[in-house]
Amino acid sequence: MQAFADGKRGRNRAYRLCGLKLASDFDLPALPEWDGPADAPADVDCRLGEVPSRLNLPDYIAPIFQTSGTGEYLLALPGTGRILVRNGNEITVELEPGPAPSNLSAILSGPIQAVLWHQRELLPLHASVVVIKGRAVALCGKVAAGKSTLAAMLAEQGHYAIADDVCVVDMRNKGEASVWPGCTRLQLWRDALTELGVSTDGLERALEHKQRYFLDCGNRLPFQPYKLAAVVQLVRNMLPPARLERLRGVQAANAMYDCVHTQRSARALGRTQPIFAAFPLMASAGVGFWRLMVPRDLAGLRQAAAKLLATLED
Amino acid sequence: MAGIWLLASYHKSGNTWLRVVLASLLSGRPVDINAMPSVNFGASDRALFDKALGIASADLTIEQETNLVPRAYEIWAAEAQRPIYSKTHDAYRLTPAGEPVFPTTATRGAVYAVRDPRAVAVSFANHRGRDIDDTIDRMENREAGSSESIPRLSQQLFERPGHWSDHVESWLGAPFPVHLVRYEDMHNDPHAAFAAVARFLGLPCDSERIAAAVEAAAFPRLQAQERAAGFIEKPSRSPVFFREGRVDGWRQVLTAAQAKRIVTAHGGVMRRCNYDTQLLPFTAEL
């Protein structure tokens, strides 16, 4: 995959970014292609351009990013380049000289997308999302917790994987919590694919320099928001058997805060308080918070999937 | 500054045992080996790195990842409310950008646990689920580390323990205080060995507290805990984590040729650490 396929500036790519249209100078294979009206104006522009090495008046400076107010976020990542996100609708990328970095599209589709949602005052969770009986279940957890693998297992059983890595929770309709489909493919590492009995032959790599692949689970749902029924925090490497416990109150709020995507950037952008305020609203909207303790191996993950389905399908 | 104390060692050299004793010492009571938050801060924990830096390390190249590790350490040290005790199997080394992976400004010091490499070879082979010759090869490989081509996303960041002798020498030459503790001394005179560690770390080192912590971490107790409930740090390919805990078990397992290979490769550093390089496997003495 070439991050900037033709080497020239031009808005010739359009993607679905949840409910928005994203026009991009870059290939972003993790996102579904735009299938709405071709002449619809873009809600978000992602373009190649000049990016300053620092913000004018930064009020938060971290080793690789800085922010100014709620509207400006600058990532400076040696080996990739600088990325400026402004006002939730503008992403500018200045690449380092030399060959196109192999990880640009992953960074744009992952942490940069999450920053964009923080700026738009929505709640991005670090989660894969599966729709079970018409209702969305967000599978959260730390990196390598098994979120995507669990989503793939549930998709195998006929449920629908609609987001991977970034789950955008929309609370703008009072009394409702919904999530938009964010992708049509899951990203899985080779060992997980092997254990699921899926060959990597013919699969597109999600990262050129690592053995991470796109897996199309095949089944599709209409591109519309889905009511969020549950947020499940996966905790991996626990002792067997798999266990599922309901979280409430402060315990739920703390666990959910752990699941916020790019939490440090959210803090820098002044989103901590609104995020904590969102959790009780989610609970009022009928979202259940759970913790799923998952043993280390794949059998443990299958056991966890069965436990989760048995509880949520009731 | 609360800062970071590094608990460093090559694999299978007593790091877990050391952490159990420290956890008992810090809490003042016997600990559950599956719940030791005070000493389970992993220097190479990918999730902690991502959280500190606000990036997904899974998307980075190994070079980018390693170059940013010192920044993560600086954040952890700056934000710590109390001293951090952080385990690592990495060598003390430089990043590709040329600065120490473990920044001096964030590090208060290191306890370095060393073990006779002949015993390490036996225990590490069991831990890896590989044969002993393959493990001896690995202990001589300067590039040995978690590999960029691995087909899975590890919960650990890239580490490069490398060559066993280089590992020991890198830590003994680190530019901050380093306390060397030998596995064999932890075994033969645990009270003295752990009291010295506690003194170095500024922890309570009165005889009663040390005795209680040593008793809580006695090897049969650790084995009993693992038998009863399992151990979350045990690799799935390894039958048990707390296996023998002996200092001379290698003499019953290694061949004379294997022991000789290890001494040839690592004899200089073994002698520096007071290991008897003349000692032979029992089979060779028959």
Structure confidence by residue, pLDDT tens digits, A251-289: 999 999 999 999 999 999 999 999 999 999 999 999 999
Spatial CA neighbour of A78 closest among B172, B95, B214: B95
Spatial CA neighbour of A53 closest among A82, A85, A91, A95: A82
Spatial CA neighbour of A264 closest among B81, B107, B75: B75
Instruction: Evaluate whether B238 touches B129 at the Cβ level (below 8 Å).
Output: yes
pLDDT of residue B284: 67
Considering the entire predicted model, what is its pTM?
0.91
Residue of A nearest to B150 (CA): A211
Tell me the two tokens of residue B186. Answer: 């932890």
Cis amide bond preceding B190, omega within 30: no
pLDDT of residue A3: 44
Of all residues in chain A, what percent carry a pLDDT higher than 70? 96
B55 contacts in chain A (CB < 8 Å): 64, 75, 77, 107, 111, 262
Q: Name the DSSP class of B38.
A: G
- Residues 6 or more apart in contact with residue B96 via CB below 8 angstroms: B63, B66, B67
Locus of tokens 């032979």: B280
B232 contacts A239? CB cut-off 8 A: yes
SS3 content of chain B, % helix, strand, coil (to 5): 50, 10, 40
> Taking the mean position of all CA atoms in its chain, how far away is CA A165?
3
In whole angstroms, what is the distance from residue B263 CA to residue B270 CA?
8
Locus of tokens 């997980």: A192
- Residues 6 or more apart in contact with residue A2 via CB below 8 angstroms: A27, A100
Instruction: Evaluate whether B120 touches B253 at the Cβ level (below 8 Å).
Output: no
A63 contacts B53? CB cut-off 8 A: yes
The complex's ipTM works out to 0.92
Tell me which architecture the domain covering A123-312 has in CATH. 3-Layer(aba) Sandwich (3.40)
pLDDT of residue B214: 94
A11-44 confidence digits (pLDDT tens): 589 999 999 999 999 999 999 999 999 999 999 9
B232 contacts A77? CB cut-off 8 A: no
A111 contacts B57? CB cut-off 8 A: no
Spatial CA neighbour of B69 closest among B40, B39, B44, B42: B44
Rg (CA), chain A: 19
Picking from B34, B67, B236, the nearest residue to A78 by CB comes out as B67
Locus of tokens 């699969």: A203
Residue A7 predicted with pLDDT over 50: no
Residue of A nearest to B155 (CA): A144
A191 contacts B155? CB cut-off 8 A: no
Parallel, antiparallel, or unpaired: how do β-strands B84-88 and B41-42 relate? parallel
Q: What is the mean pLDDT of chain A?
A: 92
Parse chain A into domains and list their residue ranges.
Answer: 2-119, 123-312
In whole angstroms, what is the distance from residue B104 CA to residue B282 CA?
44
User: Worst-scoring range by mean pLDDT, A199-203, B235-239, B253-257?
Assistant: B235-239
Average confidence (pLDDT) over A62-77: 97
**Distance, in angstroms, between A201 CA and closest chain B CA?**
14
Q: What is the mean pLDDT of chain B?
A: 91
Q: Where is A294: in which H helix or E strand?
A: strand A288-295
Q: Is B148 on the interface with A (CB under 8 A)?
A: yes
Residue A100 predicted with pLDDT over 90: no
Picking from B60, B148, B150, the nearest residue to A103 by CB comes out as B60
